[in-house]
A and B are shown apart, each in its own frame.
Chain A
Amino acid sequence: MELKNIKITNLENDELLDAQKQVESFLKFLNGEYETVKKLEEENS
């Protein structure tokens, strides 16, 4: 299922918090990856 299609209003309270935890953690991961790859870009240019 596409993320944009997920009906978050259907989530239970605890699931909502759980989902946010997962998303925040993944965003942190993405941020770290972006920094790493950005450094790689600088090294290669």
Chain B
Amino acid sequence: MKELVENIEKQITTDKEVISVLPRNGIKAIKTLLKTIAEMTEKYETLNEKLQKEIETRYTELTTVEENKEIPQLEQEILKYDMAEKNTDTRSSFEKMGLDRVIYNVNGYYKSNLERLNKELIFSVKQFEKVGIKLTAEDFCISEYAKKYMEVLLKEAYEGDINSEAVKNVFEKVYWQCSEIVSHLYVNIRYIYDKYENHIDRFYNEKAQEILQSLSLTSEELEEKKAELIKQKNQIEETDNKNILDKFFMGSLNINDYKADNYKRIYTELTDKDVTKLSETEKKEIDENIDKLNTNLTEYAKYLEYKFLVEEVLQTRQELLKNAEANKDKKVKKTQYELIKEEIKKLQSEIFKLNSKIEKPNKGFFERKKVEEKKDSIAILQRNNLVLDLKKTYMQLDEEVIKQKILQDLDETSSLYDVIKFASSYYGYMAKVMIKNNEDITDKEIGEKAEKIRKFVNFSNFTVINHVNISDTKELSIIIKDKYKLLGMQISKENFEEDSIDDLIRKVKIINNYNNIQKSKFAIKDLEFIMNVKK
């Protein structure tokens, strides 16, 4: 077809010559020349319009692609199994309800954002409702401040505006009477959970049984089923036309990386083979290994981002084991956890004893101040101090629970995946480790990172970190490198060094994506055309 383009080129050259040789002296000659140019322009404009129309037709034809219908179906299935897993896994009901995130945020947000605080408070109320506990302001009985604030917040939430003027006003008023109002709310949520803990545990146990029965699966089978669905979805997505096109459109793939020469060069670099000289069987085998390497490297790169969490858990575990060894002969009647639990019960009881002494407001909230000043100020002061003590004790309890769980849930046979999953289950703990890792991190960034970590843990098809035990002394990068070296890939320890790993990942991705594009409806030249037109 090159001939057709050459014909256009020839015609352009001829027409250019015609214009250059036509005389320009004298008004008659000029008018003739103008007429010739105008006629030529019209002719080429017509051609240009035809070309444009043909380009648009082909562009539309190529880019009109629909996502494989299996993808959203699989996504739905995955979400179904994920929800089932979240309701049946070994986390405590507190984490299942998402209260770990709520209490972390309630403890921190008020300093910067009342709207977020309100959102978390209402979220917790809704979570209790989901487990069959309908909360009212009466449940926020840790203090008259908590109750008054929740009275207005719940009323406004019912009317659909948790950030109304009424909420802002009551916060302002309550805050000046008790600047620790948020601590009171924090303690109150925890108290409500303690009060209904048995009921909530029963709810989740029954729900877990019901879910597993309805799916006819055990917890392990459920986890495997979800992993299998994620794997299926990833495989379909890799060769899905829409997915491929979107990646080019959004800029995550660059068409220049997919030129045949670049592909051949990288292929040789990674495999030491000339791709053009491989038999179909040889290429298929190598491509399968590249696909696996790509999956492993993607997982490895993500893992590196969150490795600090694993390291912290493992370091804490070592310290705990050392302490346990040092204290193994000491006889203790009660564990630290039991002592803290007792302390919490004691503080709660003292708070409610004092609350019963503090006179209830009969004439409305704003007249209460007078009563407080006269009779109850000492009792209120004592009670407020106890609320703060209770908050501190709850925070100690959280630390103790983590320690206990680290020893209970993790042993030498646990995998790196088990550790990261463990850490991601406890929002407050994750946040604490993130702050230790980067003290400038904001609450918002913690929230975003925590979400990413949980997404990584819950929606990945793990092939590496779930096979490597915490007792394994070999570095993860070496384990991956050794495997693919055996399969003939040209990768070395240096490729996994900090300043080289991104380049290795990029190259493996290019080869793998190129191979996947070959399985889609697109040829590389189609994509080149699309991207050129899009420019």
Residues in chain A within 8 A of chain B (CB atoms): 1, 3-4, 6-20, 22-24, 26-27, 29-31, 33-34, 37-38, 40-41, 44-45
Contacts and interface: CB of A to CB of B under 8 A. Distances in A.
A15 B408 CA distance: 68
B58 A30 contact: no
4 interchain residue pairs of minimum CB distance: A13-B529, A20-B51, A1-B7, A41-B30
Contacts of A13: 58, 525-526, 528-529
Nearest to A32: B37
19 contacts: A3-B43, A6-B8, A8-B51, A9-B54, A11-B4, A11-B5, A13-B528, A16-B54, A16-B55, A17-B532, A19-B51, A20-B52, A22-B12, A23-B48, A27-B41, A29-B16, A34-B41, A44-B26, A45-B27
Which of B47, B52, B525, B526 has the most A CB atoms < 10 Å from its CB? Answer: B47
A13 B364 CA distance: 79
A34 B34 contact: yes
Contacts of B352: none
Main DSSP-derived SS at the A contact region: helix
Contact of A7 (B4, B12, B38, B528): B4
A17 B533 contact: yes
Contacts of B38: 34
B12 A26 contact: yes
B270 interface: no
B71 interface: no
Contacts of A31: 41
Interface of B: 1-2, 4-5, 7-9, 11-12, 15-16, 19, 24, 26-27, 30-31, 33-34, 37-38, 40-41, 43-48, 50-52, 54-55, 58, 525-526, 528-529, 532-533
A38 B483 CA distance: 74
Contacts, number: 107
B54 A8 contact: yes
Contacts of B12: 22-23, 26
Q: Which of A9, A14, A20 has the most CB of B within 10 A?
A: A20
Contacts of B1: 10-12, 15
A24 B48 CA distance: 7
A4 B44 CA distance: 9
Given A11-B54, A13-B58, 13 more contacts: A4-B46, A8-B51, A11-B5, A12-B1, A15-B2, A16-B51, A19-B4, A20-B48, A23-B47, A26-B16, A31-B41, A44-B26, A44-B30
A27 B43 CA distance: 10
Nearest to A34: B37
A17 B58 CA distance: 11
A32 B532 CA distance: 26
Contact of A40 (B24, B41, B55): B24
Contact of A10 (B4, B47, B51): B4
Nearest to B28: A44
Given A1-B7, A26-B12, A34-B38, A14 B27 contact: no
B37 A30 contact: yes
A10 B7 CA distance: 13
Contacts of A12: 1, 525
Contact of B47 (A3, A40, A41): A3
Contact of A3 (B8, B16, B34, B528): B8
Given A4-B46, A19-B5, A30 B41 contact: yes
Contacts of B24: 37, 40
Contact of B58 (A1, A6, A16, A41): A16
Given A34-B34, A44-B30, A22 B45 contact: no
A31 B38 CA distance: 9
Given A6-B8, A17-B532, A41 B37 contact: no
Contacts of A1: 7, 11
